[in-house]
Amino acid sequence: DTEVTQTPKHLVMGMTNKKSLKCEQHMGHRAMYWYKQKAKKPPELMFVYSYEKLSINESVPSRFSPECPNSSLLNLHLHALQPEDSALYLCASSQDRGGNQPQHFGDGTRLSIL
Amino acid sequence: QKEVEQNSGPLSVPEGAIASLNCTYSDRGSQSFFWYRQYSGKSPELIMSIYSNGDKEDGRFTAQLNKASQYVSLLIRDSQPSDSATYLCAVKDSNYQLIWGAGTKLIIKP
């Protein structure tokens, strides 16, 4: 069982919908990440939060909006997505952003845009 | 442009044999190296971390690091069909960014 929990596991939404992806970890990690992964490709970094502050935004379109309410929670708010945004969305956490610690992934949310 | 390179495969190995997966990286200042296993439709799972030159063993898995050659490898002994997956090499560069290889698809033939 993963120690990073993502909900929902699957999400189907229309292009005009608003939805949110949620991620929770209870390992005391201070860095949390959102990745997007397309089939047969490696994960692609979207956002990094370090000590609850956004430290990296990899030029992600504004239809994706991250939020870190506290050190254990990370949300990704979705609005007016496009069909090409269909992908596996992965949340990860690590002890902190620097140093040698690995990132641990949740099971992901499979997102389909109609 | 910092890069991590892996052969995309597929790499086909008979059951019970040793599978050898290789990865090269471009940033000589990299300090942390990771191997993740990813089954189709699932999320990446950390299987090995290595930080210093030499070998690190964990059960059937051995990670090898050679910083002079900028090369990291993963050996899987006594390969099982359940080892069939895509193996992703990830390298934390000198700016603490995690750079991913494209992954090697491994197929273990019964």
| Distance of alpha carbon B16 from the chain centroid | 19
pLDDT at A2: 61
Q: Do B43 and A97 touch (CB under 8 A)?
A: no
pLDDT at A101: 93
Indicate whether A5 pLDDT > 70. yes
Single out the residue of A114, A64, A54 nearest to residue A89, CA to CA. A64
Mean pLDDT of chain B: 96
Regarding predicted confidence, which is higher, B78 or A55?
Answer: B78
Chain A: residue nearest B101 by CA?
A42
Collect all residues of chain A within an 8 Å Cβ-Cβ radius of residue B43: 2, 88, 90, 105-108
Single out the residue of B13, B15, B19 nearest to residue B76, CA to CA. B19
Which tokens is B9 given?
Answer: 């495969």
> Which DSSP state fits B104?
E
Residue B96's pLDDT band, with cuts at 50, 70 and 90, is confident
Per residue in B10-51, pLDDT (tens digit) is 999 999 999 999 999 999 999 999 999 999 999 999 999 999
Q: Do A108 and B103 touch (CB under 8 A)?
A: no
Per residue in A22-67, pLDDT (tens digit) is 999 999 999 999 999 999 999 999 999 999 999 888 889 999 999 9
Amino acid A104 reads H
d(CA A8, CA A76): 12
**What residues have CB less than 8 Å from B70, skipping those under 6 apart?**
B24, B25, B26, B28, B30
pLDDT at A41: 96
Three-state secondary-structure class, residue A83: helix
Chain A: residue nearest B89 by CA?
A42
A104 closest CB neighbour out of B46, B96, B101: B46
